Amino acid sequence: MSDSLKLTLGPLLFNWPADQVAEFYGRIAELAPVDTVCLGEVVCQKREPLLGGTLAEAAGQLADAGKEVVWSGYGLIADEKDMAATKGLAESSEGLVEANDITALPFLQGRPHAIGPLVNVYNEDTLRWLVARGATRICLAPELSRDAIARLTEAAGEAELEVQVFGRLPLALSARCYHARAHGLHKDGCQYVCDRDPDGMAVDTLDNEHFLAVNGIQTLSHSIVELSAEIDDLIGIGVTRFRLSPHHVDMVAIAHVWRDLLEGKRDLPRARRIIQTVAAFAPPSNGYFHARPGAVALNN
C-alpha cells in the first residue's frame, strides 16, 4: 500500500540566499526520502534572478537521486513579463509543471500537468473539468475540510490528490508587498527585505498573539499545519500524496518522520514530538481538516 503513497516536497516559498538554496536541495537529494520535489519561484518574480542557475542544478541532482522534479509556476500572474515567464516554463520543462494560477492552464492544456494549492478547486465539477483537460495531480487548497477532501477523492478518477500536511499555510496573495511596506519601502524598491525572514515575517496582534507571517506579497499562517495524527483518515478517504512545505529547519528529519508514517510505522507520539522539536518556531494547527478555523489545534 505504501507504494501508492507519495511524499512531495512543495516549492520553497521564501527568499533564501542562493548558496543556502543549493545546500538545501543538495541535502534533500542525498538524504530526504521524498518522491517528488517541486522547484520554482512561486511568490515573487523579482527574486528569480537572485538564484541564477541554482534551481536548474538542483533539478539535476534531484533527478540523479531518483526523485521526480515538478516545476511550480507563479501564484499571482499579473503582467506580460509574468505571463511570458509562465509560458516559457510550460514550454521548456520536461517534467510536470504545477499551475498555481489559472493563467498557466492554456499553456498546459492537453498534456499532463499538476494543479497547485493556490488554484481554487472546491468541488467535483471543477475537479473533473480540470482532469479532463490534463490535470493528473491536484494539491488541494488548505481550507478544505476532511469531508470536502473525501468527496473530491471520490471524483478524482485517475488523478492523484495531494494535501499539505506540514508547514505554514498559504492564506493570501496581493499585488502589494507587505514585507516592503512593513519596512517603509515600495515594492519596486524593496531592497529584497524578504530575505531577512527565512520562514516569513512575524505578524502579531496588538495583544502580542502570534497570528500570521508575511512573505513578500504572500500572507501565510503563523501556525504550522501538522496532520500526522490525521494520517489514517487521510489515507482512508483516498489521499495519495502528502505535501511538506519547506521551512528553514531540518526538512530531512521531517521527511523521515512522514516516510515512516506512510510505511505504516505509526508511532504518532514520536512523530509529533520530532516534528514539534524540529519545527519549534511555531505551534501546530489542524483546524481546517476538522472544519474549524484554520488556526485551531485539536488534540486527537
CA dihedral 132, 43, 64, 247 (to 10 degrees): -120
The footprint of another protein on this chain (CB under 8 A) covers a number of residues equal to 68
Choice from 27, 46, 151, 256 touching another protein (CB under 8 A): 151
Residues of span 221-250 touching another protein by CB under 8 A: 221
Query: Smaller CB distance to another protein: residue 27 or 181?
Result: 181
Query: Smaller CB distance to another protein: residue 210 or 248?
Result: 210
| Residue closest to 102 by CA, chosen among 141, 140, 75, 69 | 75
The stretch near another protein (CB under 8 A) out of 23-31, 45-53, 65-73, 182-190 is 182-190
With cell 492554456, the residue in question is 106
Residues of span 195-224 touching another protein by CB under 8 A: 201-209, 211-212, 214, 219, 221
3-state secondary structure of 228: helix
CA angle 127, 130, 133 (to 5 degrees): 150
Binding mask 61-100 toward another protein (x if CB under 8 A, else -) reads ---------------xxxxx-xx-----------------
Choice from 268, 280, 291, 298 touching another protein (CB under 8 A): 291
Query: Smaller CB distance to another protein: residue 148 or 271?
Result: 148
Between CA 291 and CA 19 the distance in angstroms is 40
In the complex, the smallest distance separating the C-beta of residue 131 from another protein, rounded to whole angstroms, is 12
For 234-271, b/e burial (b = at least 16 CB within 10 A) is bbebebbbbbbbbbbbbbbbbbbbbbbbbeeeeeeeeb
The answer to whether residue 152 forms part of the interface with another protein (CB under 8 A) is yes
In the complex, the smallest distance separating the C-beta of residue 160 from another protein, rounded to whole angstroms, is 17
Choice from 176, 265, 270, 273 touching another protein (CB under 8 A): 176
The answer to whether residue 181 forms part of the interface with another protein (CB under 8 A) is yes
Evaluate whether 275 touches 228 at the Cβ level (below 8 Å): yes
Cα 63 to Cα 3, 33, 69, 102, 186: the distances in Å are 19, 13, 7, 28, 39
Choice from 18, 48, 53, 129 touching another protein (CB under 8 A): 129
Evaluate whether 11 touches 59 at the Cβ level (below 8 Å): no
Query: Smaller CB distance to another protein: residue 66 or 110?
Result: 110
In the complex, the smallest distance separating the C-beta of residue 124 from another protein, rounded to whole angstroms, is 6
Between CA 256 and CA 165 the distance in angstroms is 14
The answer to whether residue 294 forms part of the interface with another protein (CB under 8 A) is yes
Between CA 59 and CA 48 the distance in angstroms is 15
Query: Smaller CB distance to another protein: residue 32 or 212?
Result: 212
Element (H, E) at 264: none
The answer to whether residue 115 forms part of the interface with another protein (CB under 8 A) is no
Rg, C-alpha atoms of the chain: 18
Choice from 139, 177, 254, 279 touching another protein (CB under 8 A): 177
The answer to whether residue 46 forms part of the interface with another protein (CB under 8 A) is no
Residue type, 286: N
Which sign, positive or negative, has the C-alpha torsion 120, 35, 60, 136? negative
Query: Which residues of the shown chain bind another protein in the complex (CB under 8 A)?
Result: 76-80, 82-83, 101-103, 105-106, 118, 120, 122-130, 141-144, 147-149, 151-152, 169, 171-178, 181-183, 186-188, 201-209, 211-212, 214, 219, 221, 287-288, 291-295
